[in-house]
Structure 1
Amino acid sequence: MNRSWLQSELEKYQTAYVEEEKYKSRFLDLLFFDNCFERSLLTGHITASVWALTPDYRQVALLHHKKLNRWLQPGGHADGDENVQRVALKELAEETGITDVRLLGDSFFDIDIHAIPARKEVPAHEHYDVRFACVANDPMQLMKNEESNAVDWISLDGLEEKVGHEVSILRMREKTSKF
């Protein structure tokens, strides 16, 4: 997997969600920048994350992010690695301890572009997030790291209690019903 793979997958990506359809062209435009996988592209850059489910598909691993003070799926910066699936799985392991997974599908599961507020010397920018879905074969592996206030298995039925009306997370929940 590399930039060419991501471009090809984005070009053929089919979605029923209007916002994702709009994101496709923006992602494809971003890929023209040599440093789109680097934080040095200050307007926005590629990130990758994972929608990690329990084997019964009833819960998802979310972490309460210290810097953003929000419940989110595990993920992070590509930092130059064009293999976004590898980035997503590395972030999942680092942020939750989950390493034994079964990927759902041959490609990404969702795309999103979201604003990140300015912080210290880093200006406000956007994350172009490529999202993969998986099942954690051993949900007991779950543990938090220093980047999070908490990490937990959250019931898909009670997701709003943690994330409010965060459209992109609720969209991923809706997509889960198609597995």
Structure 2
Amino acid sequence: MKWINSIKDYKPFNEQETKDKEIIIKCINIFDDVLTRKNELAHITSSTFVVNKSKDKVLMVHHNIYNTWSWMGGHNDGDDDFLKVAIKELEEETGVTDIKILGDGIFSLDVLNVKSHMKRGKYVAPHLHLSVAYLVEANEDEALIVKEDENSGVMWIPIHEINRYVKNESHMQKLYQKFIEKMNTL
């Protein structure tokens, strides 16, 4: 399957990505429903880390559930075209369509812990997001929209201030700092 090969062929950036890639491949081998939320332990998500042309700002949404600024992405819900899902989520959550994919495919593989929470009145147990991420450049002059059922804000944040906006999710601060470091090597 092409989607599995895209993960297997991915070249990890660091030790964390090497280990996370191993875990993602284990989950793919163990679970036949890893592309869907039917798997309540671990499932694949697709996301975008979006920067402006000069790479000094990052586009983020204010996530309603976690009450913090966040990247854009979502569940694959059975779709094995990771890039298509990531771009669809970016467009739905921000309105941005004038984009360019940077790099030559998957930008990052990460295993992310999701804390228990309520979503649309239902309890969601803690689980893992097997994250497939892409680096995207977007036009910062394009009009932005808010997807009110998920987010309460959309804005370009100076990239050097990202930790100030993601203050209550230290694990995501580490992830974004890795993205910035990796982006600067391209």
Distance 1:83 1:70 in 2: 28
Task: Tell me the equivalent position of 1:29.
Answer: 26
| 2:63 aligned with 1:68 | no
Task: Tell me the equivalent position of 1:159.
Answer: 162
**SS state of the match for residue 49, structure 1?**
strand
Give structure 1 stretches of 5+ with no counterpart. Answer: none
The answer to whether the 8 A contact 1:54-1:139 is kept is no
The answer to whether the 8 A contact 1:64-1:70 is kept is yes
Task: Tell me the equivalent position of 1:88.
Answer: 86
Q: What is the number of residues matched between the two proteins? A: 176
Moved more, 134-143 or 56-65: 134-143
Distance 2:159 2:123 in 1: 36
Q: Residue type matched to 2:134 in 1? A: F
Moved more, 18-27 or 119-128: 119-128
Q: Residue type matched to 1:161 in 2? A: R
Distance 1:76 1:158 in 2: 24
CA RMSD between the two structures? 1.5
Residue 138 (structure 1) shift: 5.3
Distance 1:49 1:110 in 2: 10
Task: Tell me the equivalent position of 1:103.
Answer: 101
Q: TM-score, normalised by structure 1?
A: 0.91
| 1:1-179 map, 5 Å | 4-32=1-29, 33-119=31-117, 120-137=122-139, 139-146=141-148, 147-164=150-167, 165=170, 166-179=173-186
Q: Residue type matched to 1:148 in 2? A: N
Give structure 2 stretches of 5+ with no counterpart. Answer: none
**SS state of the match for residue 71, structure 1?**
strand
The answer to whether the 8 A contact 2:13-2:182 is kept is no
The answer to whether the 8 A contact 1:100-1:138 is kept is no
Residue 9 (structure 1) shift: 2.6
**SS state of the match for residue 130, structure 2?**
strand
Distance 2:110 2:157 in 1: 21
**SS state of the match for residue 22, structure 2?**
helix
